[in-house]
Every structure is written in structure tokens, then in C-alpha cells.
Amino acid sequence: SFRTAAEPRRSSSSSRPPCARWVYLSVLMLHGQVGLSFYDSLDYTLHFMPDIADSSGLHLLERVVQEISPQVIVTSAKQERCMAHFLRGLGSNPDYKPEVVVYPNSDFGLEVAKQRLLSAHLPLLPASITENEKIPYLSSCIPFDSVLMVRLLVAILLSVIVMHSTLRTMGALLKCLDRRRVGVELEDSSVGVPIMHFRTYTLNDVVYVDRDTYSVLQIFKSELHPSVYKLQSGEKEGLSLYGSFYFCKRDWFLRPTRDLAVLMRRQEVVRFFTSPRNSDSFNTLKSCLRNIRSIPVQSTLILVVSFNHSFMQHTLISFCHRLYTVYNGVCIRDTVRSLPQSIQLFHEISEAFTEDLFYIASLISKVVDFESSLAENRFTIKPNVDPAVDEKKRKMMGLSDFLTDVARSELEQLDSRIPSCSVIYIPLIGFLLSIPRLPNMVEKEDMEIEGLDFMFLSEERLHYRSERTKELDDLLGDLHCVIRDMETAVMTQLQAVVLQRSSCLYKVLSLCAELDCLLALAQASQDYGYCSPTLTLHGPLSLIKARHPLLELCSPVFVPNPFTSSDQEGKVKVLTGPNSSGKSIYLKQVGLIVFMALIGSDVPAKEAQICLVDCIFTRMQSRESVSVGLSTFMIDLNQMTQALNQSTGNSLVLIDEFGKGTNTVDGLSLLAACLSHWLSNPATQCPHVLLATNFHSLLQLDLLPQSPLLSLLTLETAVDGEEMVFLYQLKEGICHSSYAANIARLAGLPATVVQRGVEVIRIRSAIFGSKHLIYENVVERFLSLDLDDPSLELQHYMEELLTFDAVK
């Protein structure tokens, strides 16, 4: 089913019914990283998925193919073997046979992608737009959330060759669309295939969380390891949500899910283990799981053929772990079988321990002598496994006494000046006579002894081969190597049996991994006092006494706060408060709690009801703008564009200080416009928005429309003389001052500087206050204008109204 690159133009258009929906998928796997993008001819949208950089890449690709059912799959001729295998597998399915189109690898280059994106037909843009002007537009459509996307613009702007799979797939996809003239078959050849939208694609039940959100919420945080020079990666996990969960499965953190069944399955196990009644089974399982390692079965194969010592030791240790794994697996099985089988995971684990596993366990333990294997740094087998090996080993054991006798008889025949001699065995060389060097033995000729062949001098001892040692070579041979070869043969046989029955091992390991993660979630829940949230697919988001899961670990006192957002009330919350009053923390704690619920964890709150949101968007701190090639304000706008364009009534949007990177009035107007956009939507389409701002005039000037969706919140503070007291308590209302001067004083700004700042503000507000009166006067007079009044002299009236004096 593979086509070649030299396909004819419009090759399949004849077989394609007009106006039918066609989906073209482009995929590439590069160094284990899967990138994909696809074009939907129904709405002319180009979708792209952030790079999948972990081992689940192909599994996810399989799900994408199931979800979008592409008719055409474009891929590269240079492909990793597993991807080629995957695509071939699709061709053999009788129910679904996509056409696989293979292009040369050069079509998947970044430069090609860059050129094709820039010259793509984007009907929404004015025809006169230049390539340079297209770049900011593309940057707002294609989020900078994946590593790939971060570099997209860098690649475009600087033409840096970077490896990013999804971007590469876009180039090939656009080529395919262009060749087939998708949707423009009847148009003039100068008309390109239209792209009306760019959209990030996520699998149906995967919640979209962009890279910035991961970073601002501190879900992962790598920092330099103190031993950075010694370690290869030089990095360790810092204070992060992932770290606080005892490094539970990274996959779960990377792909929070909306699949209620999956989350319920996790929740029931966590709930079971957080109950104090079950602490014994919790502790037993924890200690057994500590010894479970995931070891690829193939490693044993490499082990047998490997003669590289350091590698061999590593693999050997892995092999020992495998045995422990099996032993501990049995312990896990016994413990889990005693737990309620109504819990799905427990039932699956009980079932997964088949007879095969015991067979493997007992076979390995019968054959492998682990203690001596580790001591000798090679495989050794136990006695009674192979009688021939036992025989050789016996000989080997008695060898030293036998060689002492030989040495004694050899010494009797040597020159009387030689005080002593011994017989030694060197692998690959054989048996040798070893005598101490005498003072007169300086030149090589002095070392020659009649009847003996001189071999070498080492550490003041001379080594010779005698007739007797030659006899020993023939009689005993290279015993050491022979034993090793024989043991290797036994191991190969053992391995074949293990490999045959290893499928159950994978199943057990995968279930153990799941159990291990759930124990980690339960442990965190117990340690930090979390509650189990009630999850719903749609409905309100309601938290009582919610806390920030990371700040509460480092702060001696943490003030919990509630959060409620539903279609009925307060879906758009505007939070004002003095600087340092806890606004950002409140935003982040809501984001983190929702995220935690989406991985199946308990949450830091007294009670929680959480609807499974489809995306979490954040507009918080800006990334550094150098590597992205965009200004700070442009990055802020891109993040806001994402939230505005892609959020649904079931998304969570967290905005901290939008509009600050530009002129105050412009920033304020943009912010008001964005909020008004959401507030003017029906409640079911308005996302859960939580916005913190220091633009107090947003509310003071009444810039937002009246709506039941709008809720105004502030964080309580008290001023004691000149000192600020932060109470961190959430309440309804508006904050009228940022108390910036008080906070500046707290921060240690020189008193004179703060004083001067306060004076400037006072003078400015006095001027603004008097001007404000004049403006009010003008507006009042204008509103009282009666156009029907016959005595009105309009010209004169307007001149008077707009004279400089009146408004100055």
C-alpha cells in the first residue's frame, strides 16, 4: 500500500467524491519523537499536535488515527523501523485502508516547512500581506507550547536547523495538498489550497495544557543538580507538583485526562489506600513495589553475547532485579488477592499473575546462582543444573592443591640456586612455571634456563613453559573458558524459555506501575491532607477551603480560600487587590487543583467538586522573548489569542496581569475588550475565567458590561499606620488602591524616594480631579442641549462648548 514519491499530480482526485470530507495526515518519527499534523478538507483547517516525545508516541498515534480516520497518510521514506511497521500494519487492516504516501525525507526538512507555511494560501489575510508580516500572524495561530513550536519562529526567522517532528510534517503535508489540489480542483492553478484555521489538536479525552501552563503552575521544574559536573544530565527535579507526588508516572502528568472511567478507576484505589484501615496492605505493597523494576526481556539476550564488562555488570544487576521483580510480584499478588476484588485494578492484578509467571520465577531461581554471579561479574549457574559443568567446576576447585604438587616436583629438577617455584594458570595462555628473579639475571640470556621456554618477566618473576605445564595444558585445557562457555549455553536455553512466556511479565509490570503511581497519589493525599474531589463531565467548579499544594509546603501558615464558578454565576471572576496580596497564588492554586483532579489525584481542599475541563489556558508570566523572536507584549497577546480562540464553555482560563506590556490606556482597553467578549457569550460558551489585575480603573471606570457571569473579588488586607497586613482572605468586592507605596516601604525602598512618589501621585490626582470636574461640566451641558429649541444658535453653542478655556 506504499506509494512512491513520484506520484502523478491529482492522482486520486478522480476517485474522490466532490465535497466529501477528506483528512490528510502527515506523520514523522524522529529520534523517538512523533510529530503529526493533518488537514481537514471540510473546514479547511490545519491541525497539529504538539510533539510526543515519550515512549507512548506510537500508541497515541494509533489513537489519533482511530479518531480522525485519515484517508491519506503522508510520511517520510526515511523512517524509524517501528513507525514503518505501524504504517504497514494499517495497510493490512481490511476494514480501514488509508493510502500511505511516501515522500523523500528532504520534504520533511525545516526549511521546506518554513517556505511552504509562508507561501500557504491563507484567505483570511489580506492578499497584499508580506512574508514578514505573516510571521506574527503564524505565531499567534501556532502556539509556542511544544518545544517544536517554541523553535518554529526561531526556525523561520533565523533558519536554524532544529529537529522538530511536527513542523517537519507540515511541510510534507502542504506539499501533498498542493499536488492534489485539495478543494481547489476546479480552480485556476494559481489558486492555492486554502487554510482557514490553524488548530492545536488533542485527543478527545486528553486535556490540553500548554507548555507555559506547565511552567507557571510549576508542574515540572528542573533545576541544576549540585553535582552538575558529575552527572550526565546535570538536572534534578526542583519544587514541583510532580516532585511532591513522589515522582508518580510522568505520563499521567503529561496527559491529564477527561476520561471519567479512567479517573474513577484511579480514585477508587487512592480512596482505598488513604483509609487508615488499609495501612497494612499499603505498607506491604509499597515495600514490594520498591523492588519491582521494568527490565526489557531483550536485555538478557544482550547479556549472554556481551563481553563488555561494565555493561555486563549493569545487565547482570538488571537481571537480578528481574528475579526480585518476580519474587516481589508474587508477594504483591498475594497481598492484592486479599483486598476487595470489586476494585477493578485489584481484580486485574489478581488475574494477571498467571502460572507462566511462577514458572519463570521458579526456573530462574533454580538455574541462576545470583550471589556468585554478582561476585564473579558473570553468569554462573547453580550446582545440579548441568552435571558436566559441575564436573569441570570440581576439577577447578581441586586445581590449586594439584598445582602445588606439580610445582614441588618441578622445583626438585631445577638448579639448586632457585629457591622456590609455583605453577600458575593464565587464561588464554595456559599453565606456566613462575620463579623469582635472581640478582645475576640481568640480560635476557641470563634468564634462559635449560629445558624451559622463557615466556616473560613480570613483577620480578620469570615465567617459563616446561614439558609438564604443556602436559597440563593438554590435560586440563582452558578450564575457565570452557566452564564459562558451558554456562552461557545454559543461560541461552533459559532465556529462550523466559522469552516464550514473557508476555505475562509485561502485563504484570504495567499493572504494578499503575499500582505504584496510585500508592504515590495516596501517600501524597495522606501526607498533605487532601480530599477526594467529586468529578463531573459538565457542571460547576466548586472548591471549599482550597490551598496551594506547593506554597503550603514551604509556608508555615497558609490561608485557604473558596472558589465557585458555574453557568449560573460568576464564570468570569475579576480579582483585584494590593500588590503581594496573594492574587497570583490564588489563580495558580485553582489551576493546580483542577490539574490534580485530571490525573486522578486527591486535591488540597476541604471539599471539591470539579468538572473535567477540556483545556487549561494561562496568561501569566511571559517567556523570555529572545529565543522566540517576539516581543514580550506579542507573547502576551499570543497567549490571550489562544485562550480567546480555543477555549470552550468547559475550559479554564487563568490570566494574571494582561495588558501591562504596552501603554496603560491601550492595555486596559484590550483587557476590557477581551473580558467583554467572554461576558457577551451565552453562559454555556463562556469559559471559567479567573483574572487578576492591578488595573483598578477597569472596574472604577465601569468598562465591563453588566452580566450575571461577572463576579468581582478581592483579597483582604489591612493597613496599620503605614504598615500593610496581608490577610490573604478572599471576599467579594473591589480593591481601590494598590498600596504600592506601603509595599515599596516594606521592600526597603529609601523613604525619601517613596515619599516623593506619594507626592507625585497626590499632585497628579489633584490635577486630574479638577480636570475631571471640567469634563463633567462639558458633558452635562452637551447632554442638556435641546436641538428643538428655536432660540438655539448651534454654531455659537458649539464654539462655546469646545473653547480651549472650557476644557483646559
* One of 577, 591, 604, 659 touching ligand ATP (CB under 6 A): 577
- Are residues 424 and 432 in contact, defined by beta-carbon separation less than 8 angstroms? yes
Lay out the site mask for ligand ATP across 670-689 (x = CB under 6 A, - = otherwise). --------------------
Q: Which range binds ligand ATP by CB under 6 A, 315-323, 554-562, 695-703, 747-755? A: 554-562
Size of the site for ligand ATP (CB under 6 A): 15
- Report the 10 Å Cβ neighbour count for 277: 7
Binds ligand ATP by CB under 6 A, chosen from 37, 581, 609, 717 = 581
154/551 with CB nearer ligand ATP: 551
Residue 621 CA to residue 692 CA, distance in Å, equals: 12
For the residues of 592-609, what is the DSSP string, one character each? Answer: HHHHHHTTT--BSSSEEE
Least separation in angstroms between residue 711's CB and ligand ATP is 18
One-letter amino acid for residue 4 of the chain = T
The interface region with ligand ATP, picked from 446-454, 557-565, 627-635, 641-649 by CB under 6 A, is 557-565
Q: How far is the CB of 583 from ligand ATP (least distance, A)?
A: 4
Q: Tell me if 559 contacts ligand ATP by CB under 6 A.
A: yes
Contact yes or no for 572/711 (Cβ under 8 A):
yes
By the rule CB under 6 A, 258 interacts with ligand ATP: no
Q: Return the range that interacts with ligand ATP (CB under 6 A); candidates 221-229, 233-241, 551-559, 761-769.
A: 551-559
Number of Cβ within 10 Å of residue 63's Cβ equals: 15
Is the Cβ of residue 169 or residue 581 nearer to ligand ATP in the bound state?
A: 581
Closest residue to ligand ATP using C-beta atoms: 582
> How far, in whole angstroms, is CA 64 from its chain's centroid?
18
Asked whether 169 and 36 are in contact (CB, 8 A), the reply is yes
- Can you tell me which of 472, 572, 585, 592 binds ligand ATP, judged by CB under 6 A? 585
Q: Is 728 in the site for ligand ATP (CB under 6 A)?
A: yes
The nearest distance, CB 335 to ligand ATP, in angstroms, is 40
Shortest CB 546 distance to ligand ATP, Å? 9
Instruction: Find the binder of ligand ATP among 579, 621, 631, 681 (CB under 6 A).
Output: 579
| Interface pick for ligand ATP out of 50, 329, 582, 659 (rule CB under 6 A) | 582
Q: Is 216 in the site for ligand ATP (CB under 6 A)?
A: no
Q: How many Å apart are CA 298 and CA 303, to the nearest integer?
A: 9
SS3 (DSSP) at 448: coil
Position 512, amino acid: C
Question: Coil, strand, or helix at residue 630?
Answer: coil
CA pseudo-torsion sign 637, 638, 642, 643: negative
Q: Judged by CB under 6 A, which stretch of 309-317, 553-561, 590-598, 787-795 contacts ligand ATP?
A: 553-561
Handedness of CA 602, 603, 608, 613 (dihedral sign): negative
Q: How much of the chain is in helix, strand and coil states, percent to nearest 5? A: 50, 15, 35
- Identity of the residue, 580 or 638, whose beta carbon is nearer to ligand ATP in the bound complex: 580
> Given the rule CB under 6 A, which of 13-21, 284-292, 418-426, 581-589 is the region that contacts ligand ATP?
581-589
Residue 293: CB atoms within 10 Å: 15
Q: How far is the CB of 547 from ligand ATP (least distance, A)?
A: 7
Neighbours of 401 (CB within 10 A): 9
Considering the rule CB under 6 A, would residue 584 count as an interface residue with ligand ATP? yes
Region binding ligand ATP by CB under 6 A among candidate stretches 170-178, 278-286, 296-304, 550-558: 550-558
Cα 154 to Cα 624: distance, rounded to the nearest angstrom: 13
The continuous run of DSSP H or E covering 438 comes out as none
Distance CA 735, CA 710 (A): 16
797 scored as a contact of ligand ATP (CB under 6 A): no
Work out whether 555 is an interface residue with ligand ATP (CB under 6 A).
yes
Stretch that binds ligand ATP, among 302-310, 326-334, 538-546, 579-587 (CB under 6 A): 579-587
Separation of alpha carbons 225 and 207, rounded Å: 31
As a whole number of angstroms, the distance between CA 53 and CA 71 comes to 25
Task: Check residue 580 for interaction with ligand ATP (CB under 6 A).
Answer: yes
Among the listed residues 215, 180, 135, the one whose alpha carbon sits nearest the alpha carbon of residue 15: 180
533 lines the binding site for ligand ATP (CB under 6 A): no
The amino acid present at 372, given as its one-letter code, is S
Q: Which residues bind ligand ATP (CB under 6 A)?
A: 551, 555, 557-559, 577, 579-585, 694, 728
